[in-house]
Structure 1
Amino acid sequence: MSQEQHYSFFESVEKSFDKAAQFTKWQKGILEQIKACNAVYRIKFPVRVDDRIEVIEAYRVQHSHHKLPCKGGIRFSEEVNQDEVMALAALMTYKCAIVNVPFGGAKGGIKINPRNYSPFQLENITRRYTAELVRKNFIGPGVDVPAPDYGTGEREMSWILDTYTSLRPGEVDGYGCVTGKPVSQGGVRGRKEATGLGVFYGLQELCNIKEDMQRIGLEPGLEGKRIIVQGMGNVGYHAAKYFHAAGAHIVCLIEWDGAIYNEKGMDPDAVLKHRNETGSIVGFPGAVNLEKNTDGLELECDILIPAALENVIHKDNAPNIKAKIIGEAANGPITPEADTILNKKGVIVVPDMFLNAGGVTVSYFEWLKNLSHVRYGRLGKRFDENMNIHILSTIEDLTGKKVSEKERKFIAHGADEVDLVYSGLEETMHAALHEVREIMVTNSKIHDMRTAAYVCAIDKVGAAYEQLGIFP
């Protein structure tokens, strides 16, 4: 049995934390406070399922109160346990700090397989869980703001919102108690694709850094880059879609039931259509079906994006990985032992706690929208369009030249909500990447982005605690 198998998920997070902590200025007591989970709420409640009573096990963990509210998703899965929820809550604290989103980390989970329940039963479970959180003050726009995660989506967030507002009537900012809602219920445009788009923005910016690309033998830019994506869920599909649109070649797509390869590249939308029609990505026209789906991870490529499960790259297959860059779109897709092997090979591993922060970033924008009670772009869009048209008309009069109708529409366009959300997400991912990279550049003892990301997070959380005056 390998050493890495002795560590629980939370212990693995603490191990990475401890590795980075030695490069920070904080004394041991402050580091222990940053590392610890502040509050763990374990719930068991009865729900009627058909003709029987079922006792449901659920959790909500608030890892850090250095900033409020706490923020983190709620997952529905049979694998949910206290250790996993604590680990994910801790990662949320560090993730929010890295991308400068002013939340403490939290996470929730209900130990069920949602496929085993009807929508009516799921609604009962979700509403009862929400009522338990309200009872203990573990939810609220200024306290703790959940979001979707594995097994949940807009529907469940609507149920949470409705339950919360019915139990707290008249709360003016009540819609800010949860994010990931439908747009009609106070959600924000761009939330669905946010995590995949954030993965794209982060890796796009990395590929534009000449020194880093020269070091691994690649040309700057995305044009022509060979990309493998594991997982065609929401995150993997959107990441692949944006890379394809940018001129990269999606040479391999991997799913749980098979993998397909085409060295010339594939259109993710066409693959998705094929899957919807046949039930699988296998057999996509023009692509070769791989004998084992995991073989796709070891194919020749420039960028590998694991966007599905944890621990898919481990000590046994890490030596065979040929990618120059690995972008962790999923949570924890690389084991600690594999991480060491890849770093020694010179692979640039872009860590999950930075790269998949697009979801929480856009959740932050949704929360701000709910507190301000106005849609992004509503106040300025028409003014900007009128001003742009006026400037363009003036230039045309002065030069005696006219632009095409297509160019006129593009120049005149005033920013709508989704434009502003995309712009804010791109700025956030670019700024955070350079912040993490700067730590690596200025400290010769830090050789990997994961350690640099932890250092970045620890310093920000430590500074927040120091400013709060908690420590003498």
Structure 2
Amino acid sequence: MGEVKEEYSLFKDVSKVVDLAAVYLDIHPGLLSQIKECNSIYKFHFPLRNDDGTYEVLKGYRVQHSHHKLPVKGGIRYSSFVDEEEVKGLAALMTYKCALVNIPYGGAKGGVSIDPNKYNATQLERITRRYTSELIKKNFIGPAIDVPAPDYGTGAREMSWIVDTYEAFNPNAINAKGCVTGKPLSQHGIDGRTEATGMGVYIGIREAVSVKEDMDVLGLTTGLGGKKVIVQGLGNVGYYAAKYLQEAGATIIGVAEYNGGIFDEGGIDIEALKSFQVKNKGFKGYPKGNFVEESAEMLTYPCDILVPAALENVITEKNASQIQAKIIGEAANGPVTQEAAQILIEKNVLVIPDMYLNAGGVTVSYFEWLKNLSRVSFGKLEKRYDMKKYEALLESIENATGDTFTDEQKDLIVRGASERDLVNSGLEETMVTAYHHMNSVRKSKGIKTLRIAAFTVALERIAVSYLDLGIFP
């Protein structure tokens, strides 16, 4: 009999990287084992009654990877590929991601094994509300326990169904709105959540190219100005990442989608391309640049920065040797396989890891949760006070100098910070601080890649949390 090939396990893959990071730290083996394991796994089945009277039994999951901090945090995905190993792996990644960017959550993930495209809105609402009630029964959801968010196949609509169901079961819970994030603004969501992940990708890449020492090694100048960028995927994350990179001076020369791409050395207008895509369901017929039928080939086109923002495992051992980009920004989850990563190290390519680069979403989710617990919008208390204070300051300057400010200057200086302004400021602070700390650890410990450095930072913080809890000597 031939050898049986072991099925791929994302959870085991993540655990292997944790072991590689642990080499750079002095962690007790028992503590390391505790950190790697999932604390709680809830797998359940529930029926869905269809409009024609038939029933089908659906499979749901919620995995809480780490209780070193509570609540735990992680999205809910609706996908036919959802299984226990995937959810465990994604929950583990959330633990390390939150620790890396210093957000006080443990990691979690959930999902229902369905193809959401095969169900109408009424069916999806039944599925979501039943899934939520199952979590409530087992105490697997709550603002102090476990706070889900949108993920692949879910969005603000599903989150509003979740919070409505939770509030129905908990009518006296004053913080009930904090049981889930990614809600619509009308349901106490937060301004800036939609573009948060893409903006985080932009900030992370901007910080990477600001370090002269690292750019010298790659043969690049510092700053985004003039950098040639190819983006794979023009969904929510790819669009906002490309938009902000372009506004910062980068030239987007290629955008690849599953049904074709556009390549233009002279630069692509992202707003115009996105409008065309929405209207025509693709890029075919776009009047500028060259249409590329086999868009996957664009990953190997010459550019300075490659941003895979769509699917996992798009850069593999098959195409890694052909990659011509000097920097890869992993906007998607797991776009570079481990085998490909080894080849890219030898090619001296800087890979900015997904665990860091797409942490903008969970960062702003944290702000939404804080907003829900405080039950007041950011900026609501101080905005008018700040405006009055700056108006008085400008008036004093005008009186002292005899000069007057223009209306445009006054508006710019006097305007108080809105919720979006404060959210973006907090996101920027989080991403900037995390990048430079991760990069300094990479250099001080002689670590080859930013990915291992990211896990090293996260692992050390989680270990300290456990030690401070007194669980391990």
Aligned to 2:24: 23
Find out whether 1:451 has 2:452 as its counterpart: yes
Counterpart secondary structure, 1:338? helix
Q: Which amino acid aligns with 1:45?
A: F
Find out whether 1:264 has 2:266 as its counterpart: yes
Q: Give the 5 Å matches for 1:420-431.
A: 420-431=422-433
Aligned to 1:50: 51
Question: Which has the larger displacement, 288-297 or 83-92?
Answer: 288-297
Aligned to 1:415: 417
Q: Which amino acid aligns with 2:388?
A: N
Aligned to 1:140: 142
Counterpart secondary structure, 1:284? coil
Aligned to 2:463: 462
Q: Give the 5 Å matches for 1:327-366.
A: 327-366=329-368
- Residue among 304, 313, 316 paired with 1:314: 316
What do residues 256-298 of structure 1 show as CA deviations (whole Å, max 9, x unaligned)? Answer: 1011100111121111111122121223221101141111101
Aligned to 1:82: 84
Counterpart secondary structure, 1:30? helix
Find out whether 1:69 has 2:81 as its counterpart: no
CA distance in structure 2 between the aligned counterparts of 1:364 and 1:291, rounded to whole angstroms: 40
What do residues 159-201 of structure 1 show as CA deviations (whole Å, max 9, x unaligned)? Answer: 0000000011110100000000011111010001100000011
Question: Which has the larger displacement, 65-74 or 8-17?
Answer: 8-17
CA displacement at 1:219 relative to structure 2:
1.1
- Residue among 104, 129, 141 paired with 2:131: 129
Unmatched runs of 5 consecutive residues or more in structure 1: none
CA distance in structure 2 between the aligned counterparts of 1:314 and 1:5, rounded to whole angstroms: 19
What do residues 108-164 of structure 1 show as CA deviations (whole Å, max 9, x unaligned)? Answer: 011111111110100000000000000000000000000000010000000000000
Aligned to 2:180: 178
What do residues 179-228 of structure 1 show as CA deviations (whole Å, max 9, x unaligned)? Answer: 00011111010001100000011111111111111111111111111111
Aligned to 2:275: 273
Q: Give the 5 Å matches for 1:35-434.
A: 35-51=36-52, 52-434=54-436
CA distance in structure 2 between the aligned counterparts of 1:129 and 1:254, rounded to whole angstroms: 35
Question: Which has the larger displacement, 378-387 or 206-215?
Answer: 206-215
The alignment's TM-score, normalised by the length of structure 1, stands at 0.98
CA distance in structure 1 between the aligned counterparts of 2:398 and 2:301, rounded to whole angstroms: 53
CA distance in structure 1 between the aligned counterparts of 2:289 and 2:6, rounded to whole angstroms: 36
What do residues 316-337 of structure 1 show as CA deviations (whole Å, max 9, x unaligned)? Answer: 1001111111110111000001
What do residues 405-442 of structure 1 show as CA deviations (whole Å, max 9, x unaligned)? Answer: 21211111110100000000000000000110111111
Question: Which has the larger displacement, 274-283 or 377-386?
Answer: 274-283
Counterpart secondary structure, 1:146? strand
CA displacement at 1:5 relative to structure 2:
8.4
Counterpart secondary structure, 1:309? coil
CA displacement at 1:6 relative to structure 2:
6.0
Q: Which amino acid aligns with 2:85?
A: D
Counterpart secondary structure, 1:41? strand
Counterpart secondary structure, 2:364? helix
Q: Which amino acid aligns with 2:221?
A: E
CA distance in structure 2 between the aligned counterparts of 1:284 and 1:451, rounded to whole angstroms: 41
Root mean square deviation of aligned Cα: 1.1
Distance 1:354 1:5, change over 3 A: farther
CA distance in structure 2 between the aligned counterparts of 1:320 and 1:139, rounded to whole angstroms: 45
What do residues 9-30 of structure 1 show as CA deviations (whole Å, max 9, x unaligned)? Answer: 1111111111111111101111
What do residues 324-374 of structure 1 show as CA deviations (whole Å, max 9, x unaligned)? Answer: 111101110000010011111111100011110000000000000000010
CA displacement at 1:401 relative to structure 2:
2.1
